[in-house]
Structure 1
């Protein structure tokens, strides 16, 4: 497996990009108490055999955004402005979304959720859940 969670046999699958305009949200979990397995089990449009863009929504103080971006980039995450923190108007924090292409499964979603929560906590921020996108029909 690579850092993206893709195996050699996945090379025949369509390649997606975090910027693909045809992506649609196929699964989400915005409740900290909800298990990733529960979110994935209720997802009717998610295709577990195809890669997805996993997005974690968080907000951080502006002065730590570059530090967080560098930390996440080492594992092929892209950190951009926006996300659910924008909608929730978190005072004094910069709304962000961390994105990465990977195969989705409950274990990896849970691990990355814990990682994002730890990152936000260490830097005085907050997390707002995750969602995943795949190409629409």
Structure 2
């Protein structure tokens, strides 16, 4: 097979549909709520995570009620979407999400970034989870 044939095959291959942070069909494939556990260990122990497929990286933050708009503005600059989940006393639990390919390095960088942002705003970063579309189930031929 020539190089031109391989390129043509790649261009003809159907692209995976773009994920949305609000897609209700997504399922949690990895989660990290223990700050002592390395992100590489979280991903390594996940049998459902597929490393070469897009995922929604969703951070769980507890922010003071008056600071969520500021957080949303800062995070939107890097493609994150902030969704308020529920009020807890004077704080609001929020999900901060974006679509990306996951790897341990980027998860660790983003976890640290969210912890720093939450601290600057007087809140707390609780952890993260990753969501992907369920893997297709193939029935073996009879």
Deviations 1:77-126 (A, max 9, x none): 000112xxx5xx85421110101000000010000000100001011101
Which of 131, 134, 140 is the equivalent residue of 1:133? Answer: 131
Which of 20, 32, 35 is the equivalent residue of 1:32? Answer: 35
Which of 116, 120, 125 is the equivalent residue of 1:118? Answer: 116
Counterparts of 2:38 and 2:23, CA distance in 1: 28
Structure 1 counterpart of 2:140: none
- How many residues matched? 123
Q: Give, in angstroms, the shift of residue 27 of structure 1.
A: 0.5
Structure 1 counterpart of 2:6: none
Which of 11, 15, 19 is the equivalent residue of 1:12? Answer: 15
Which of 54, 62, 72 is the equivalent residue of 2:75? Answer: 72
Deviations 1:14-41 (A, max 9, x none): 3111111210000001101111000000
Q: Give, in angstroms, the shift of residue 13 of structure 1.
A: 3.0
Counterparts of 1:123 and 1:21, CA distance in 2: 29
CA RMSD of aligned residues (A): 1.7
Counterparts of 1:65 and 1:90, CA distance in 2: 13
Q: Which moved more, 1:34-43 or 1:90-99?
A: 90-99
Gap runs ≥5 in structure 1: 1-8
Q: Which has the larger radius of gyration?
A: 2
Counterparts of 1:91 and 1:40, CA distance in 2: 33
Counterparts of 2:44 and 2:80, CA distance in 1: 25
Q: What TM-score results when the alignment is normalised by the length of structure 2?
A: 0.81
